[in-house]
Structure 1
Amino acid sequence: MTAYDKAMAHARTTEALAQVAGRLGWDQQTVMPRGANMQRSEEMAALEDVLHARRTDPRLGEWLDAAQPPDDMGAACLRELRRAYARNAKVPARLASELARITPLAQDAWEAARHNEDVASFLPWLNQMVALRREEAHAIADGGDPYDALMEDYEPGTSSDAVATIFNDMRPRLVALRDAILGANTPPALTGHFPQDAQLRLSRRIAEHFGYDFTRGRIDLAVHPFSSGSGDDVRITTRVAVDDPFNCLYSTLHEVGHAAYEQGVDHAYALSPIGQGVSMGVHESQSRIYENQLGRSRAFTGWLFAAMQQEFGTLSVADADAFYAAVNRVNTGFIRTEADEVQYNLHIMLRFDLERALIRGQLDAADLQEAWNARFAADFGYAVDRPSHGVLQDVHWAVGLFGYFPTYALGNIYAGCLFKAMQGDIPDLQDHLSTGNAGPATEWLRTRVQQYGALRPPVETITHACGSAPDAGPFLQYLEDKFSAIYTL
């Protein structure tokens, strides 16, 4: 075997074990009995010991030094494997194991604290998680910006300064659009009682319309919706509120976007270093375009209006136009995952600034709630009413995902570029969506983005798909056109 062959065989086994670890995480959040959490913590730590040893094996370093790629796929595999090896080699085994051990416990504590509106009970766990991730960030950064080091895990090739510049440029147009909308007449919301079984039945139907392959996936319930896995085992979760069906339907559609990306990767890449999405920003471009540009379009909501009447009977809104306005209603609210498209990125900007300060040591976990509440009041103009609507609403910090949040906004930007290109290539797109047929759109995304996995770096992936480098212009224009029409601005 050549050095390349040895490195790839080693990586394949490592990735298979990583998928097993992911399945344990899925199990914890869906069906694991609560009393098993302490044992699960030890199981995750033990598996991480094995994974970290494999990822930092000196033999792997030797093979990577000597390896010559046989083709473009091989070159991409080596690029990703070398980047991961350089990162993992800087993290002590003790630290990797401790992070894996504490994560299930911190998540369990977060769920209880969120349910009980009790920030104080979660603070000891948050302190531990922040301390561990700061240590990891400084080890990886090697004298550079620690937050940038963590961002590299989720969006390789970017920096927090670059993201901050993008956010600062976007903010004035987003705030101006929001203020204009909130000064206009607000359309009626959808109200009523929507039984859980019917919501889940319709969610499954929507998932199928958007190409989710249930022979290689499933839908379950979780506190915080997520997608898990890659290749031939990609699972999603959703949540249900009987008075708010959009929470379930659009959470499902969002996660279907993630899952479709993983299911759509070329099978030749399976369990290889490029056999999954290239970054969380590109991943979010898929989930956001499925959920918003496609799923909240006037064409698709017209089909959804009829489908909901079949499931739930007469609705509180009069017709398909009123339903479209209700789906896209802009109003005050606290929850990021339930935020409208106009205000969503403002929620991300808040989290980005706070978590960057946390990792840089400019903000302590003990002061996070106060900082959150002050920033929210300044950005949105009203006060947080309870912790589950504020600092406890997201699972990300409980499980150590610092550096993840900005990828949601980058995903929106990428989605804006993809949608503009898609419309140019599929002139009858809206006609298809009006019948509930998302096939042409999902096939376009599979052909242009999903099949390539991590073959190309993130920005190059979007550039290749769209024919030009990504920028925020198409996304902001899409928002202004769409909501000016809905609110007759």
Structure 2
Amino acid sequence: MTAFDELMAFQRETSALGQIAGRLGWDQETVMPRGAAPQRAEEMAAIEAVLHARRSDPRVAEWLDQAAPQDEVGKAQLREIRRAYDRAVKVPADLATAIARTTSAAQGTWAQARADEDVSAFVPVLEEVVSLKRQEGEALAQGGDVYDAMVEDYEPYTTGAQIAAIFDEMRPRLVALRAAVLERPEPAALTGSFDELTQMRLTQKLAVAFGYDLNNGRVDKAVHPFSSGSGLDVRITTRTSETDPFNCFFSTIHEVGHAAYEQGIDRDYLLTPLGRGVSMGVHESQSRIYENQLGRSRAFTGWLFDQMKDAFGDFGIADADAFYATVNRVHNGYIRTEADEVQYNLHIMLRFDLERALMAGDLQVNELEAAWNDRFKADFGYAVDKPSNGCLQDVHWSVGLFGYFPTYSLGNVYAGCLYQALRAAAPGLDAQLAEGDTSGATAWLREHVQQHGGLYAPREIIRRASGVEPGPEPLLDYLEQKFSGLYGL
């Protein structure tokens, strides 16, 4: 075997172990007995110790020095392995293990604190998570910006300052659009009771309609919807509410976007660094375009209206046009995952600024609730009513995902670019969507984005697919056109 062959064989074993760790996380969120949390924390710490040892194994450096890739794919494999190795060797093994153990336990603490509306019960463990993640960020940054080091985990080759500049460009047009929309009469909200078993049956149908392969996946329920795994085992979760089936349906479509990306990657890349999504921003571009530009379109919501009538009978919405307005209703709300397209990115900007301040040490954990509530009141004009609608609503910080939140909005930006190109390439798209057929759109995304996995850098894959330099203008144009039409602006 050549050095390249030995390196790739070693990498495949490491990736397989990483998939096992991911499966433990899926189990913890879905079916693990609550009392198993302390043991699971030790299990997660143990497997992270093994993974860290492999990722920082000195042989990797030797193989990288000796490897001679023969093609573009091989060069990309080495690029990603080297990037991961350079990061791994900077983090002490005991710190990596401590982070895995602490965040596994913190997840359960967060869930209970959220259920009890008790921020004080969560603060001590979050302080420990923040401290450990700061240590990790300092080790990775080596004198540079700690938050930039965090972002690199989720959106390679991107800095906090670059993200802030994009957000500064977006904010004025988003705020102006929201102000104009909120001056107009609000469409009717969905009311009534919707059987949760019926929701799950319809959500399975939606998953399949968007191309999710259930032979290599499954749909379960969790407190916070997520997608897990890659290659031949890609699982999603959703959640149900008796009074809000949209939460279930659009969470499912969103997570199917993530899962379809992983399922669509070239199988030759299985269990290699290229065999997963290249960044969370690109991942979010898939989930957001599935959920919003496709799933909340006038064409597709017409089909969904008929499906809901068949499933639930008369549910109080007169026709498909009224249903489209209800699905896209701009309204006050606390929850990021339930936010309309106009206001969603404002929720992300709030989290971005707060977590950036936490990592810089400018904001302490015991000040977080007040800082969140003050910022929310300033941005949205009304007060947070309870912690589960405020700083306890998201799981991300409990599991140490600092630097993850801004990728949601980067995903929206990327989705705007991709949708502009998709519309130009598929003039018959609306007719297909009106029949519940997403194959034209999903096949285009698979060809231009998903199949490549990690072959290209994040901004490069969006540039190649869309033909434009990634930026927020296509997204903002799409939002202004859509909501001006909906609200008669």
TM-score, normalised relative to structure 2: 1.00
The one-letter code sitting in structure 2 at the alignment partner of 1:379 is D
1:129 lines up with 2:129 in the alignment: yes
- TM alignment of 1:101-140, pairs within 5 A: 101-140=101-140
- TM alignment of 1:84-483, pairs within 5 A: 84-483=84-483
1:82 lines up with 2:82 in the alignment: yes
Alpha-carbon distance in 2 for matches of 1:64, 1:92: 21
Q: CA deviation at 1:170?
A: 0.4
Secondary structure at the aligned position of 2:90 is classed as coil
1:81-131 residue CA offsets vs partner (Å, 9 max, x unmatched): 000000000000000001111112100000000000000000111000000
Q: CA deviation at 1:3?
A: 1.2
Aligned residues: 489
Find the counterpart in structure 2 of residue 48 from structure 1. 48
Secondary structure at the aligned position of 2:62 is classed as helix
Q: CA deviation at 1:68?
A: 1.3
Q: CA deviation at 1:470?
A: 1.0
Secondary structure at the aligned position of 1:220 is classed as strand
Find the counterpart in structure 2 of residue 68 from structure 1. 68
Q: CA deviation at 1:2?
A: 1.3
Q: CA deviation at 1:378?
A: 0.3
Find the counterpart in structure 2 of residue 487 from structure 1. 487
Alpha-carbon distance in 2 for matches of 1:226, 1:244: 18
Stretches of structure 2 that go unaligned for 5 or more consecutive residues are: none
Alpha-carbon distance in 1 for matches of 2:191, 2:444: 35
Secondary structure at the aligned position of 2:237 is classed as strand
Alpha-carbon distance in 1 for matches of 2:273, 2:70: 15
Alpha-carbon distance in 1 for matches of 2:186, 2:44: 48
1:137-173 residue CA offsets vs partner (Å, 9 max, x unmatched): 0000010000000100000011100110110110000
Secondary structure at the aligned position of 1:421 is classed as helix
Secondary structure at the aligned position of 1:236 is classed as strand
Alpha-carbon distance in 2 for matches of 1:317, 1:42: 50
Secondary structure at the aligned position of 1:277 is classed as coil
Q: What value does the CA root-mean-square deviation take over the aligned residues?
A: 0.5
Secondary structure at the aligned position of 1:153 is classed as coil
The one-letter code sitting in structure 2 at the alignment partner of 1:125 is V
Alpha-carbon distance in 1 for matches of 2:467, 2:372: 39
Alpha-carbon distance in 2 for matches of 1:299, 1:190: 19
Alpha-carbon distance in 1 for matches of 2:443, 2:200: 25
Secondary structure at the aligned position of 1:409 is classed as helix
1:7-42 residue CA offsets vs partner (Å, 9 max, x unmatched): 111110000000000000000000001111111111
1:303-339 residue CA offsets vs partner (Å, 9 max, x unmatched): 0000000000002111000000000000000000000
TM-score, normalised relative to structure 1: 1.00
Q: CA deviation at 1:208?
A: 0.4
1:244-289 residue CA offsets vs partner (Å, 9 max, x unmatched): 0000000000000000000000000000111000000000000000
Alpha-carbon distance in 1 for matches of 2:469, 2:355: 28
Stretches of structure 1 that go unaligned for 5 or more consecutive residues are: none
The one-letter code sitting in structure 1 at the alignment partner of 2:88 is N
The one-letter code sitting in structure 2 at the alignment partner of 1:30 is T
Q: CA deviation at 1:6?
A: 1.2
Alpha-carbon distance in 2 for matches of 1:361, 1:67: 41
Q: CA deviation at 1:302?
A: 0.2
Secondary structure at the aligned position of 1:154 is classed as coil
The one-letter code sitting in structure 1 at the alignment partner of 2:381 is G
Q: CA deviation at 1:471?
A: 1.0
Alpha-carbon distance in 2 for matches of 1:401, 1:69: 33
Q: CA deviation at 1:224?
A: 0.3
Alpha-carbon distance in 2 for matches of 1:270, 1:109: 35
Alpha-carbon distance in 2 for matches of 1:241, 1:46: 36
